[in-house]
């Protein structure tokens, strides 16, 4: 992708960044380097490669899901500030029609 110094200066203006002509030229060279890297990465055939959620094959340890608050009076204390409560549950307005 060809990028001109005018393009860099326009992007800097839109971002409200003040740059000199020399800085714009330097940024242009750096951005063109990034674009070349992106083009090299796009050229790699990734057919059949499964996307990964993490760079390392790790599994986070899972813990048992259990209730940690055993004092029922604290729940009543917390729910006193709620706008609407019924049978120990918080009532919220319907958001999907």
The mean pLDDT of the chain is: 89
User: What total number of domains does the chain contain?
Assistant: 1
Does residue 70 belong to any structural domain of this protein?
no
Mean pLDDT of 84-97: 88
Does residue 92 belong to any structural domain of this protein?
no
What confidence category does residue 1 fall into, taking pLDDT thresholds of 50, 70 and 90?
low
What confidence category does residue 91 fall into, taking pLDDT thresholds of 50, 70 and 90?
very high
Does residue 19 belong to any structural domain of this protein?
yes
Placement of tokens 């409200």 in the chain? 16
Q: What is the DSSP string of the chain?
A: ----HHHHHHHHHHTT----HHHHHHHHHHHHHHHHHHHHHHTS--TTPPP-SSSS---PPP---------HHHHHHHHTTSS-EETTEE-------
Q: What is the pLDDT of residue 75?
A: 82
Q: Which residues of 5-18 are buried (b: 16+ CB within 10 A; e: fewer)?
A: eeebbeeeeeeeee
Predicted confidence (pLDDT) per residue in 56-75, tens digit: 878 888 888 887 767 767 88
Predicted confidence (pLDDT) per residue in 9-32, tens digit: 999 999 999 999 999 999 999 999
Does residue 55 belong to any structural domain of this protein?
no
Domain extent for 37: 5-42
């Amino acid at each position: 992708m060809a990028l001109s110094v005018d393009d860099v200066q326009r992007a800097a203006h839109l971002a409200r960044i003040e740059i000199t002509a020399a800085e714009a030229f330097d940024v242009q060279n750096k951005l063109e380097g990034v674009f070349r890297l992106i083009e090299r990465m796009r050229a790699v055939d990734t057919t059949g490669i499964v996307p990964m959620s993490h760079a390392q094959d790790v599994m986070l340890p899972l813990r048992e899901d259990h209730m940690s608050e055993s004092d029922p009076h604290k729940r009543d204390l917390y729910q006193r500030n709620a706008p609407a409560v019924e049978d120990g549950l918080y009532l919220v307005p319907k958001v999907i029609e």
